[in-house]
Structure formats: C-alpha cells, structure tokens
Structure 1
Amino acid sequence: MSANQDADGQLPLVNLITERYGELTGPKRKVADFIVRDPESVIFMSSADVAQAVGCSQPTVSRFASEMGFSGFTEFLTTLRDQVKQRLEPINRMARITSGSTDAAKAFYESLRADQAILQGLSDRVQLKMVERAVELILRAGRVGVAGVRNSQTAAYGMNFLLNQLTGKSALISDSHKDLEELSRLGSEDLLVTISFSRYSKRIMEMTRVAKESGVPVLGITDSPTSPLSRFADVLLCVDCRGPMFQNSMVGALSIVNGLMTALVAAMSEEQREHSQRHMKKSDQISDKLENYLWTFESHK
C-alpha cells in the first residue's frame, strides 16, 4: 500500500480533515467540505481561489491549514499534491483494484456501474451554453487541430475521425515533430481542440499555451473547471473520468465527442450540410474503390 493512501483508499489528508472536522467552526468547515469533496481540483488552486469558491476570506483558508498542523496553506497544498499525484499513478490505482477484491466478475460490473454514473452525470457537468459555443467555434474554423496524448488520444482520435468525415478539415496533433507542424499552421481563423485529464499532460498544456498566445481559439475538454486547461481555453467542457480502472475512463469524453458531432450536424446551414454530404459521398466512393469493407452497396445490387 502506498504511503500516500490509507487502507480505505482515501488520501491521508482527507482522513485527517474528517477526523478533525468536529473541531472546526464556521467557514473553516466549508473549506474542509470543499477540499474533501474534490481534492484533485484543489491542487491547482491558490488560497485565494479556494476562498472565492467557498465564500470566505483568504486568512480563513490559512487558519484552516494551520489547524490541520501545517505552517500555512502552501505547505498543506504541497502535501495534498504529493498524495493526489501518487494516488493517480496507474500502479497505485491497480493496487486498489486488487486489494478490494479478486473477483473478476465483480470488478467488471463495478467498472460498468462507474461508467454509467459518469454518463448519468454528464447533464449536470456540461453546460449547454458551452456546447453551443463549442459548436460555433467548430463551424467557424477554417482548420481544426485535435490534440491528445496517451489515454486522452482515444477521444482525440475519435473526434478527429468524425470531424474529417463531416468536414474534411481536421488534423490529429500529438507530440511528434510532424504533428507539431500542424499546430504551427493554425491561426486566428482556425481552432485547436485539446483533450487532457488528470494527471494532465505537460506537453498538451504547452501546446495549448503556445496556440493561445498565437491567437488560436481553443476548445478544451477536461475533467474540472480548475484544470490547467481552463487558463487557456475559450470554451471548456468538463466531464468526469474517475472510476475503478487503473487508467482514466474515456467513456464520458467519447460521449461528449459524439454529442458535439451530432450538435454540429444539427447546427449546420443548408449549404454546410450539402458540402458535408458531398464530402462523405466522395469518401465512401473512394473506400468502395479501395475495397475497404467486406460489405458494400455495389456488391449487393
């Protein structure tokens, strides 16, 4: 078991706050509730951010940290970051699965239930105004770059594929030199879509920052309003990705992508829709000539 994880799977700091909760009064309880509810978001916040989110003064946040045995909020935050970072490492997430049960069927259904909960919570986490703005950005863009690495590349690949089916103007960007050339081609009339979840790719953050500083509009898909992506995104769509897996669950992100593409088709003008249909028809004709599929309309005439 990790030193940064107690037997019940909770962070030691969260358990400490729970143990001392009865000693706290007034606004400091609100600070405690906020941190216990979502420690993974708090690690990217300053004491001022926490104070604003809770509705208390900044000195109250500092006094809360002192009552937890720290010299101040900075030391408290450093400890919290270390614990969250270690808990999110795949090897430790895998250890939590095996420590709970060796029943494969039970683990399978627990994973399904976690994914169901993510999908059910989408309507609460995703703001329709943000969806509308995201669709506007995509429709307006001359070219779209979609960036995601490692696990997030699953959603990035899916979005790039579907966008290309509809518009033919999307490019997948990872961290290779060739893909970075695609990033350099984007301008103020284009769009960069970046997808990243906790533990957050440093490379993706740097690419997003560079694009933003170059005047490229940014659509971010991530797991929290306090995610590092929020500093650069013109539009931010948040979806939960936590679950019993040793990696983040991408079911919510893929659902966001599917929903965006459906909304995109619905929002198209007649001219845009006709252009999209011509592009899709041409792609299908090429696929048929290359015999990409076992079943085609031509083979069943």
Structure 2
Amino acid sequence: MSDNDDLLVRIKEHYQSMSKGQKLIAEYIMAHYEKAAFMTASRIGEQVGVSESTVVRFADLLGYDGYPALQKALRELIRNKLTTVQRIEMSADFNDPNVLFKTVLKSDINNIRSTIEDIDEDTFNSVIDNIFAANTIYILGMRSSAPLAQFLGYYLSFILPNVRVVTSGVSDVFEQMIWISDKDLLIGISFPRYSSRTVEAVQFAKERKAKVVAMTDSHLSPLTKWADYTLLARSDMASFVDSLVAPLSLINALIVAVGQRKRGDVSMYFGELEKIWSQYHVYVGKEKDE
C-alpha cells in the first residue's frame, strides 16, 4: 500500500495507543477527511479543541514526516471526491480580504515549486521526442482543462502543421479522434475533478495503439492507467476555483522546448506571420499611413 492508500488503516491501527487529544483528531479525520485534507494543523486543532503541536505529534505517531506529509496523503486520497459545494466550504480561510490575495498567490507559488520538484526530465524529453515523431498530435482537454488544451494547441500549431485540439462537447469527442492510430500521439489533460469523458477518450486512444501522454496532477489520476508518459503539475486549491498556474507553466515549458528544436523554421514562420499581421493590422501598433 502507498502512504495515500493506507492512511485510514494507519489511524485505525494506532488508535488504541493515542492520547485523548489524538483520538479526537483521529475521529475528526475519519469522519471528515474530505475537509481535513484542506485544513491547517492549527485549524484542525481549533476544530477539535487541541493544540497545533498535538496535531503535529499525531502526524508523527502515524509515521509521517510532519503534518504537511499527512495532509498530502489526505489530499491524494480524496482528490477526486470533492464536490464543488465542498470546495466552497473548504475556502473558509479565504474569507479575510486582507489575506486572500497573498494566500491565493502563495498557493500558486507552492504549486509551481512542487511541480519543479516532481517533474521527471527524462519523461519530459521523451514527450518532446514523441511530439516530433507523431503523424498527428491530438490535444484533449475537457471542462476546466479545455483552456489549457486550446493554449497548447494554439502555440504548437505555429510550430507544427499536424496539431488537432479536441475540446468540444460530449457527443463528438470520439468522432474527432476516429482516425487516431499507432502513428499518432494524444496529450490528455485533466485535473481534479477529473473529466470522465477525458478518461474514456484516453482509453480509446490507447486501444487504438496511439502513444498517450497524461498531463495531470498525480500518479493516482485515472489518466495514468492508460498513459505511456505522465507529466505532473500540481493544482491544489482549497476553493471551487481550479489552480491551473502550474499546469500552464508546464505547458509553456513544452512549447518552448518544441520551439527550440525547430528554431530556424519557427523564426522563418513568424517572420512571414509578422508581415501578414502588419499588413492587416492584426495587433495595435503604428497607425495606418494616410
């Protein structure tokens, strides 16, 4: 079992040896683990009437390296089970307008930092290799991940001629992917709450022998079962809003890496585009000559 899977088992196994205060924490987590996963140690302590240090000792008793490790295990366990209403309930820490701005930005900074620590550079480079090897590159993102797919597709299409973005409704995803084959690549993007249609489409691509890249938040994500390569980006946000800062940063890195391998072609291509943009005044700039 992983740390995430056996967390509740650990609590049950250690329950009899816990202090009275630790038992209160255990009972609260067992009953409300979907909420506890997004609460600070001090907040859990306040909730059950114990000190923050008692919560930290509770994590140590279970064999975790401090409370953050316990909290991470909790978040992984329930990552895809939170409803939007529950996420709103989790955002009580954001009620103070004096700290909201910094709290949200610090959370995004932590997501990027964790993404840097978790990324496997060999996997990243293999994904770039497969992008260039593919006949067609399908980029799939549904619901809140749709903007990520569109952004990646928008910039990759400047560099490569064989990019197709799949983001539209439930009924026609498979129609758009009907010709996918073993010579193609699918980049499937999904973050909690995971889109069931994205998982089905990734499975469909894998069954058609296409190479599959999963861009998601955790190795526990349902996308990873069908993926040849997994790129992880953290998206933790204790609110109803998905934090997509780290995923977008990872996508930027992909685009830049692809662009660097075709630097000469990209420079020539954008040179032609600049002439067209200037001719048709696509961007704000010099006024038309009168």
Q: Same fold (TM over 0.5)?
A: yes
Q: Secondary structure at the match of 2:146?
A: helix
Partner in structure 1 of residue 209 of structure 2: 215
Residue of structure 2 equivalent to 1:147: 140
Change (3 A) 1:7 1:238: closer
In 1, Cα distance between equivalents of 2:108 and 2:231: 18
Corresponding position of 1:246:
240
CA–CA separation in structure 2 for the residues paired with 1:124 and 1:7: 25
State the match for 1:48 in structure 2.
none
Tell me: CA distance 1:7–1:119, structure 2 relative to 1, closer, same or farther (3 Å): closer
| CA displacement 1:64-98 (0-9 Å, x = unmatched) | xxxxxxxxxxxxxxxxx5xx655x2222222232x
* 1:106 partner amino acid: V
Give unmatched runs, 5+ long, in structure 1. Answer: 43-80
Q: CA deviation at 1:101?
A: 4.9
More off after superposition, 214-223 vs 273-282 = 273-282
**RMSD of aligned alpha carbons:** 3.4
Out of 250, 262, 276, the position equivalent to 2:266 is: 276
Superposed, which structure 2 residues align to 1:99-138 within 5 Å? 99-138=92-131
Could you tell me whether the CA contact under 8 Å between 1:175 and 1:203 is conserved in 2?
no
| Aligned match of 1:38 | 73
Alpha-carbon contact 2:153-2:165 (below 8 Å) kept: yes
Unaligned runs of 5+ in 2: 1-30, 49-54
In the alignment, which of 273, 283, 290 is matched to residue 293 of structure 1?
283
Shift of 1:136: 0.6
- C-alpha separation between the residues in 2 aligned to 1:238 and 1:287? 36
The one-letter amino acid paired with 2:178 is: S
1: CA distance between counterparts of 2:216 and 2:240?
Answer: 18
Question: CA-to-partner distance for each residue in 1:203-253, whole Å, 9 max, x for gaps?
Answer: 000000000000111111001112111111111011110023322200000
User: Letter of the aligned partner of 1:293 in structure 2?
Assistant: Y
Residue number in structure 2 paired with 1:89: 83
- Name the aligned partner's letter for residue 162 of structure 2: K
* Counterpart Cα distance in 2 of 1:8 and 1:37: 7
Cα deviation, 1:44-81, whole Å, max 9, x if unaligned, reads xxxxxxxxxxxxxxxxxxxxxxxxxxxxxxxxxxxxx5
Cα separation, 2, equivalents of 1:85 and 1:222: 12
Pair 1:147–1:206, CA change in 2 (3 A)? same
What displacement does 1:41 show?
Answer: 3.1
Q: Provide the rounded CA distance (Å) in 1 between the counterparts of 2:162 and 2:112.
A: 29
Letter in 2 for 1:200: Y
**Would the alpha carbon gap of residues 206 and 85 (structure 1) be closer, same or farther in structure 2, given more than 3 Å must change?**
closer
In the alignment, the residues of structure 1 paired with residue 182 and residue 245 of structure 2 have an alpha-carbon distance, to the nearest angstrom, of 31
Distance 2:184 2:38 in 1: 44
How far off is 1:171 after superposition? 1.5
Assess if the C-alpha contact under 8 Å between 1:172 and 1:179 holds in 2: no
Question: Structure 2 CA distance, aligned partners of 1:92 and 1:6?
Answer: 8
